[in-house]
Amino acid sequence: MSQPDGQNNTLDNLLSESRTFPPSAEFAAQANATAEWYDQAAADREAFWADQASRLHWDTQWDQVLDWSQAPFAKWFVGGRLNVAYNCVDRHVEAGHGDRVAIHWEGEPGDSRRITYADLQREVSKTANALAELGVGSGDRVAIYLPMLPEAVFSMLACARLGALHSVVFGGFSAEALRSRVNDAEAKVVITCDGQYRRGKPMPLKANVDEAVKDTPSVEHVLVVQRTGEDVSWNSGLDMWWHEVVDRQSENHTPETFDSEHPLFILYTSGTTGKPKGILHTSGGFLTQAAYTHDVVFDLKPDSDVYWCTADIGWVTGHTYIVYGPLANGASQVIYEGTPNTPHEGRHWEIVAKYGVSLYYTAPTTIRTFMKWGADIPAQYDLSTLRVLGTVGEPINPEAWMWYREHIGGGTAPIVDTWWQTETGAIMISPLPGVTAAKPGSAQTPLPGISVKVVDENGTEVGAGGGGLLVLDKPWPGMLRGIWGDDQRYRETYWSRFAEQGYYFAGDGAKYDEDGDLWLLGRVDDVMNVSGHRISTTEVESALVSHDTVAEAAVVGASDPTTGEGIVAFVILRGGAGEQAGGDQAVTALREHVAREIGPIAKPRQIMVVPELPKTRSGKIMRRLLRDVAENREIGDVSTLADSSVMDQISAGLNTSS
């Protein structure tokens, strides 16, 4: 992004991939979306989105599909009115599906809850009545600081029902992270719990809230769910037990109706590229795109599929693909509280077998972790119900993709590699499982109704085989409506780079291959410049992961006196490989492997074998911290890491393995 003037900003196009996997005739014949959808959407985009909006129940029909006259602030389905929670819950009960399971909740210690749509309607109504009693109404903000409990879903939907905005703060964040988010949104109520189960142990959570609310003047009440039963300190001016306030409420609550553009939630981005931004989403357009994409990308059949998205609710994937998309579509889904290796490394597959999960959505980092644990683990379980597999969060390395298909998908399940962002609200680029001949590592094609371009630094579109910057050149229904309280930052961050063309700049690098398929290449900030070649960290990582001994790899550019930047790689070796490797020989072999896979220019200057990589809770590698290591600097802010001890482990082991 910060290239000196005149320097070519286009990425060099390195890796090539020729394997393709068309859907089976059988799958294609029953698929929800067909190839014609692309043509229909291209012929009349607004008519296409109007059709998608009719998936929802509108109390008042809109009179205009899109108003872009105040760009970059969009209005979708102008004049329409609806209640988002009614669409996700009540209408399914009214349609006779009250007995259908909405949530198969699985606790980490092995307890479980089965929540039907009728149950969900009662729980959401009680929660809405309780929040109303606490003074929450339309336009108020509620912070939700909860782990993966059903109450998190009830709370989000109760806010939607009342027209209040939720701001979900990931339960692994510190008191300080919570405090800054509560204050930024000026939340009136915080919903939390006593503690959460993590890796088999109860961990306190409320203590962080106690710490945070010492300095949050807007907070009037803290509503506390009892989960672990551990002792908590009690702040009698603020705190109330969920079971005392919610349980006594009426099970009936009449949803109000809100404008299509009524705010639905604020969610802070994961902060890999700077201070988290409070992304604002609204109602009608967001829910339309959530429901549409969840239906066509996962090929959902609501009365027979069991869907499972492993994301945390504190991440946008948990919002769109645990709460709003699946519930708007009347899906039955699994929600799991815990970690994938508690009490054993087969836990996910045990859950798939227990509930007959058919649609499974996870992150590349989780897949690489499963690879590291070994294919013999999933092989012990019946995974035959799985029929669509999804990934999100990072580019997926082709070898991880192949492993996923082979060892989880039985060699047949289509994989959907879904590119999107907190800001886009919902999936933008993804194969359609019954249409697209899938290609390992490529997100391939914008969905019907979505328009993207790959451009050079002047905003000129690059052709097949070219690389550059990903932009969204047309507004879409689920798009963010701004950054909470900071319109100026909204314009600057997303709309200033290509102001002339009016493009949204996503911040990611991308390329087209010779077939015109799209490859996402990670953040533009992570692109390296080696002797004048712009090389994506993702491609070098994928080359490393394609070696038998490597489970995970992270690559950074470290300043280098001769080449500008030198490639430094951090690798985790696969189960068992650690003992034999580590030595100079293994490292030499890996450097040669990269040279063979993509060319000598991409050969890492240095490869370090490490036990872990620094990741955010959504599974993204924090390359800026590894750059600190590679450049021998003091390590920067680790507060949004999933495990903040990882950087110490890396530093401790380094002297021996470089």
Which residues make up the interface to ligand ATP (CB under 6 A)?
269-273, 276, 316, 392-395, 417-419, 421-422, 443, 506-508, 520, 522-523, 618, 620
Report the nearest approach of ligand ATP to the CB of residue 396 (Å).
7
Are the C-beta atoms of 612 and 646 separated by less than 8 Å? yes
Strand partners, 636: none
One-character DSSP codes across 137-176: -TT-EEEE---S-HHHHHHHHHHHHHTPEEEE--TTS-HH
Return the biggest CA–CA distance within the chain.
71
Are the C-beta atoms of 543 and 15 separated by less than 8 Å? yes
Are the C-beta atoms of 408 and 316 separated by less than 8 Å? no
**508 labelled as ligand-binding?**
yes
**Angle subtended by helix axes 284-298 and 45-53, to nearest 10:** 90
Rounded CA gap, 197 and 178, in Å? 19
**341 labelled as ligand-binding?**
yes
Report the nearest approach of ligand ATP to the CB of residue 635 (Å).
18
Instruction: Quote the tokens at residue 587.
Output: 């490292």
**394 labelled as ligand-binding?**
yes
Q: Which is nearer to ligand ATP, 312 or 508 (CB)?
A: 508
**The residue type at 453:** K
**310 labelled as ligand-binding?**
no
**566 labelled as ligand-binding?**
no
**545 labelled as ligand-binding?**
yes
Are the C-beta atoms of 141 and 188 separated by less than 8 Å? yes
Q: Which is nearer to ligand ATP, 419 or 490 (CB)?
A: 419
**534 labelled as ligand-binding?**
yes
Report the nearest approach of ligand ATP to the CB of residue 274 (Å).
6
Q: Which is nearer to ligand ATP, 58 or 494 (CB)?
A: 494
Task: Tell whether omega for the bond before 276 is within 30 degrees of 0, i.e. cis.
Answer: no
Instruction: Quote the tokens at residue 449.
Output: 């109704």
Report the nearest approach of ligand ATP to the CB of residue 230 (Å).
31
**422 labelled as ligand-binding?**
yes
Q: Which is nearer to ligand ATP, 422 or 436 (CB)?
A: 422
Rounded CA gap, 561 and 531, in Å? 10
Q: Which is nearer to ligand ATP, 216 or 270 (CB)?
A: 270
Report the nearest approach of ligand ATP to the CB of residue 316 (Å).
6
Contacts of 36 (CB under 8 A, 6+ apart): none
Are the C-beta atoms of 431 and 414 separated by less than 8 Å? yes
In the 8-state DSSP scheme, what is residue 266? E
Q: Which is nearer to ligand ATP, 288 or 418 (CB)?
A: 418
Instruction: Quote the tokens at residue 469.
Output: 């910057």
Report the nearest approach of ligand ATP to the CB of residue 485 (Å).
16
Q: Which is nearer to ligand ATP, 62 or 315 (CB)?
A: 315
Are the C-beta atoms of 55 and 288 separated by less than 8 Å? yes
Report the nearest approach of ligand ATP to the CB of residue 359 (Å).
17
One-character DSSP codes across 543-561: HHHTSTTEEEEEEEEEEET
**100 labelled as ligand-binding?**
no
Q: Which is nearer to ligand ATP, 348 or 511 (CB)?
A: 511
**52 labelled as ligand-binding?**
no
Report the candidate in 126, 125, 156, 124 with the shortest Cα–Cα distance to residue 142: 156
Report the nearest approach of ligand ATP to the CB of residue 315 (Å).
6
Residue stretches of the annotated binding site: 198-201, 317, 341, 393-395, 417-422, 508, 523, 531, 534, 545, 547, 550
Residue stretches of the annotated binding site for ATP: 393-395, 417-422, 508, 523, 534
Residue stretches of the annotated binding site for CoA: 198-201, 317, 341, 531
